[in-house]
Amino acid sequence: MNDRVGSPKAWGGRFAMSPDKRVEALNASVKFDIRLVREDIRGSIAHVRMLGRQEIVSGDEAARIETGLWDVLAEVDRDEFRLTVADEDVHTGVERRLRASIGDVTGKLHTGRSRNDQVANDFRMWTKRALVEIGNGLIGFADALVDSAAAHPDAAMPGYTHLQRAQPVLLGHHLLAYVEMSIRDLDRVRDAHRRTDVLVLGSGALAGTSFPLDRESVATDLGFSRVSANSLDAVADRDFALDTLFACATIAVHFSRLSEELILWSSGEFRFIELSDAFSTGSSIMPQKKNADIAELGRGKSGRVFGDLMALLTTLKGLPLAYNKDMQEDKEGVFDAVDTVLALLDVLPPMVASTRFNIERMAEAAIADFALATDAADLLAKHGVPFREAHGVVGRLVGTCLAEGRTFADLLEEEWAEVHPVFGKQRPPLDALASVSLRDIRGGTAPNRVRDAIAEARPALDEQRRWFETEAAGFDALFVRP
């Protein structure tokens, strides 16, 4: 006898045999798609309300099913709802639970719907919410960087190319570089959100449905801005998940680069910063050690996020239209990438905020290794010397100084004059602040330009904040029982 008789399995009567026990574990997605349970229930509520409005089911049936679904949601919120592996997936599990409380009328809920459009819709709702959380976190991260930049208005440090000291920059300018990355990341997150924000319910298993569904009203009920245009694409499309993973991967690259700088800067070789004890760890054997483990995780966690992106690209590659079970593999990577980015967003802002900068040491390093040589060459060029020639003059001067173990600051006035007559009249800048002040151009590192950049970043972040907060509030409101 078939042990599935009377079971709530979504695929019902045509099977003479229950699935092999070994199949169940591989096939079931309950372990992870439980995370879609609230979206699944809310999606069903919108669907059944519409079925009632369209008189596809009676008003009374729709109302009973809706009430039952809100009750299941309340159970979820009390943390009392459980799936079992026999449920196969969250969609079947919710229906099983609903049937246990309201009985056979439950069977009408799935009219004009398939798990294929259902799961894609649930996942889109979940992803929209996740993107909004990431956006809010990114704003907090950018705020911490802007605050730190504003707190060190005149602090100079070496700017690097090839990790060799190149030209002095302001610490604020360096920190604001990461703010720019964050603002682009926010745009990417919103872009991913825009493409995720499409209702796919109404696509059925693949071909649409013969029931007169009112898709627009379901979209409005669930807070979707648009309705999908092609049913085959709608159930097969996971681009929104790829977009989300790519946004997460790019965020992770940026975190990794900043983290690497914090690790370098906290080393004895640099001594530019002191990480707070609260964001460092010790060694079990070397009593003197203070390790930048948290920043190392900020660097290292990127690997798994890239892996999540690569895994889904690989899963989707070559899949024929429309839905294939391969696509069940879409969720865990997105959950992992989102969890990872959110975990880092929890920690990086306070780590940045609590980092103490060793301003004197940074300023000293800013002008070491002839980092002011470009300014000397620029000065000659401003007096009509072709830049290539000026480059040669100053290059030879650097060579002489290196051979004699001297720096620009050690040169006497007459020695400058011997290098070039222009230097007889005017010496190039010999301190970092004078040097950075010369780069007074939009996007440059002069103190007034960095002040302007801070003044521009704050309202740009405020605009982002308003958008993400409005989205979050709208989403929360969907789950309030009327």
| Positions in the binding site for ligand ARG (CB under 6 A) | 29, 33, 89, 115-116, 119, 323, 325, 327-328
- The backbone torsions φ and ψ at residue 284, rounded to the nearest 5 degrees and listed phi first, read -75, -15
| Catalytic option among 58, 225, 267, 283 | 283
Nearer to ligand ARG, 273 or 327 (CB): 327
Residue 120 beta carbon to ligand ARG: minimum distance, rounded to whole angstroms: 8
Nearer to ligand ARG, 123 or 423 (CB): 123
SS3 155: coil
Residue 327 beta carbon to ligand ARG: minimum distance, rounded to whole angstroms: 5
CA angle, 327 then 330 then 332, to 5°: 140
In this structure, are residues 213 and 202 in contact, taking their beta carbons and an 8 Å threshold? yes
How would DSSP label each residue in 162-211? TTEEEEEEEHHHHHHHHHHHHHHHHHHHHHHHHHH-EE-TT-TTTT--SS
| Catalytic option among 44, 162, 203, 280 | 162
Residues 6 or more apart whose CB falls under 8 angstroms from that of 469 comprise: 136
In this structure, are residues 334 and 127 in contact, taking their beta carbons and an 8 Å threshold? yes
Q: Say how far apart CA 13 and CA 4 lie, in whole Å.
A: 9
From its phi and psi, is residue 15 left (phi > 0), alpha (psi between -120 and 50) or beta?
beta
Nearer to ligand ARG, 109 or 348 (CB): 109
Residue 162 annotated to the active site: yes
In this structure, are residues 472 and 132 in contact, taking their beta carbons and an 8 Å threshold? yes
Nearer to ligand ARG, 58 or 84 (CB): 84
Residue 283 annotated to the active site: yes
Q: How is residue 112 written in tokens?
A: 């004009």
Residue 29 beta carbon to ligand ARG: minimum distance, rounded to whole angstroms: 4
Residues with a catalytic annotation lie at: 162, 283
